[in-house]
Structure 1
Amino acid sequence: MRTPHSSRARTRTARRRRPARPVPLLAGVLLAAAVALTGCSAGGGGASSSSDKAVAPQAGGVAAGEQDTGAGDNDGKRSTAGSGAASAPQLPVNHVIRTASLTVQVKDVPKALDRARTTTEGAGGYVGEETTTRDEDSTEQTRVVLRVPVDRYDDVLTGLQGAGKLLERTAKAQDVTDQVVDVESRITSQRLSVTRIRRLMDDATKLSDVVTLEGELSRREADLEALLARQASLKDRTSLATITLTLTEKPVTVAEKDDDPGFVDAVAGGWGAFVTVLRWVALAVGAVLPFAVVAAVAVAVWLRLRRGRRRVAAGTVERD
């Protein structure tokens, strides 16, 4: 049961606590006034404080939201573009062996050869092989093999064929991309295999195991060296194009012939056939002549012996 004394005590306590309520309200008013003064001083000076940053979104929430949305869209586009550029697949590199053969008629072979050397060396290439010959008419002809970088192949080829009169040109391109990829893959596998064998040799304790592993290691290292040599050859042939240049001073002439033969052609053909038959007959007689001489000598000796026997027989009959 509640006594009158306890209720009176509670009433007094409540009366004592009621005057304390205006204190938080007064503190809030003072804080708001300080914030307002700070905002005014910051706005007049052109600087922004942390309070401004807290209030600004509330004052211009719609505009700030629109700006943030736009910025987010731009960032999203940039990130999408960046990820697309990063994830774009790389185009495969084609490995092609390029070779060409040129026959050019020039007035002076040595000068043209010097120009060809200069053009090749200027493009970063070199002269691989050179052969010079002279025919019975003292006409000089030079055959030279040039190695030039693939990216300068077309330029060098155009320069060489423009050194004189182009008589013949042959160009060839062979795609060896599959071979290059296959060799690279096999080299990677072979290197891993050699590494495994060496680890097994380190862990081996028996002499028989060591001997077996050494033989296997030698075989696999030999296979690896062969693959590396093939890779180097493919790299050399794909990085440097080969141009075989033939320089000659003698023009190449081709006799023009009519499709329908005439009387003169028939006579010439018959005479050629007759001469051919006589030639074969002469060859046959020449081949048979030694045997015929030996046979004639043998027949003459046999006839003399027979005559001598007949004379001896006839003399014997007369004596009888």
Structure 2
Amino acid sequence: MQARRSVRPGPALAGLLLAAALALTGCSGAADDSGGGNDSAKGGAAQSRNEAAVGPGAGDFSAEKGQRADKPPKATASHIIRKASLTVRVKNVPKALDKVRSVTEDAGGYIGNETTTRDGKGRERTKVVLRVPVASYADVLADLEGTGKLLERTAKAQDVTEQVVDVESRIKSQRASVARIRDLMDEATKLSDVVVLEGELSTRQADLESLLAQQASLKDRTSLATITLSLSETPGKKAAAEDDDPGVLDALAGGWGAFLTMLRWIVVAVAAVLPFAAGAALLVFLWLRLVHPRLTVRRERTPAPTALGPLPTARPAPGSDDD
């Protein structure tokens, strides 16, 4: 009887379990790989959709926006009209005026208006209007105050930035409007249309010129400050004496002044009486030369009366020549 070999199931079962384990491990790795690939695809698709929605260069725009956020906003240039008025008292107006001219010219400005007058006491007074660049406005004011004694000062500043911006915007729009009218005129074929467009062009051109004039005026007033300066002479005053008690020289000066005053009044009185004195002298001369001698002769011929009557006249003797 042949002996049968017995097969042990342990090694076969172990090999089968190992093969199954390897198979399961491979399937799970494949599933993991396929899942990871799907997620990556989904992420890439989402990113592509975001990029497509934002547009190309979105990253650069974000970076540029961050840089712009770091920079401060650009400030609009201010436009200010500056005016000032000064009243200064000086010893000599012409010399002070020469200094004012030199200061103004050195600053790059000019004198717009000048008026000179004199009061009842002969003191000179000058009023000038200066136009100087705004950059030199403060320096010119300081130099003008140093020409003499400052009596009065007023200053005013007016911000016209909004007005300047508004005029510039209106000029831009008006120029575009004029350009459109000209384009329509070039395309017009009817005479009536050309006439209407010419009238409209003339009106808009006039409006544009008015806006340009406003712009020029604002530019002139904002670029050049206006200073009105009044110069007046110092009134003459006698120097006060250091000592209140008058001295010898003061007494002599006072006496001499009184003597001159008296002599002046005497001369005035003599001049006033002289015509009458000349007339009286003429009357006296005529009296002594003509009237008085005749009266004397008449008195000598007339006998003097007595208490008993007039004296008898002597009769001539007989045989005399009187007979």
What's the counterpart of residue 205 of structure 1?
189
Q: Are 1:89 and 2:92 matched, yes or no?
A: no
Listed as ranges, the matches of 1:217-256 within 5 Å are 217-250=201-234
Q: TM-score, normalised by structure 2?
A: 0.51
2:75 maps to a residue whose letter is L
Q: Among 79, 89, 101, which residue is 1:105 paired with?
A: 89
Distance 2:70 2:103 in 1: 41
Distance 1:114 1:209 in 2: 63
Deviations 1:112-131 (A, max 9, x none): 01101100110011110000
What's the counterpart of residue 127 of structure 1?
111
Distance 1:130 1:224 in 2: 35
User: 1:83 deviation in Å?
Assistant: 3.4
1:128 maps to a residue whose letter is G
Which region of structure 1 is more displaced relative to structure 2, 83-92 or 145-154? 83-92
2:223 maps to a residue whose letter is S
User: 1:250 deviation in Å?
Assistant: 4.0
Distance 1:81 1:206 in 2: 53
SS of equivalent to 2:138? helix
User: 1:88 deviation in Å?
Assistant: 3.4
User: 1:81 deviation in Å?
Assistant: 12
Distance 2:221 2:196 in 1: 38
What's the counterpart of residue 152 of structure 1?
136
Over aligned residue pairs, what C-alpha RMSD do you find? 1.9
2:109 maps to a residue whose letter is G
Distance 1:85 1:131 in 2: 57
1:127 maps to a residue whose letter is I
Distance 1:152 1:169 in 2: 18
Listed as ranges, the matches of 1:185-204 within 5 Å are 185-204=169-188
User: 1:91 deviation in Å?
Assistant: 1.3
Deviations 1:26-53 (A, max 9, x none): xxxxxxxxxxxxxxxxxxxxxxxxxxxx
Distance 2:70 2:115 in 1: 53
Distance 2:80 2:93 in 1: 32
Q: Are 1:163 and 2:139 matched, yes or no?
A: no
Q: TM-score, normalised by structure 1?
A: 0.52
- Which structure: larger Rg? 2
SS of equivalent to 2:77? coil
Distance 1:158 1:228 in 2: 35
Q: Among 136, 140, 146, which residue is 2:120 paired with?
A: 136
Distance 2:69 2:121 in 1: 67
Distance 1:167 1:190 in 2: 49
User: 1:82 deviation in Å?
Assistant: 10
1:209 maps to a residue whose letter is D
Distance 1:226 1:250 in 2: 48
Could you say which structure has the higher helix fraction? 1
Deviations 1:123-142 (A, max 9, x none): 01111000000111110000
4+ long deviations beyond 4 Å: 79-82, 84-87
Distance 1:242 1:130 in 2: 13
Distance 2:65 2:95 in 1: 58
User: 1:90 deviation in Å?
Assistant: 1.1
What's the counterpart of residue 30 of structure 1?
none
Unaligned 5+ runs, structure 1: 1-78, 252-320
Q: Among 154, 163, 167, which residue is 1:179 paired with?
A: 163
Check 1:208–1:246 CA distance in 2 against 1; reply closer, same or farther (3 A cut).
same
Unaligned 5+ runs, structure 2: 1-62, 236-323
Distance 2:66 2:126 in 1: 58
Deviations 1:202-240 (A, max 9, x none): 000000000000000000000000000000000000000
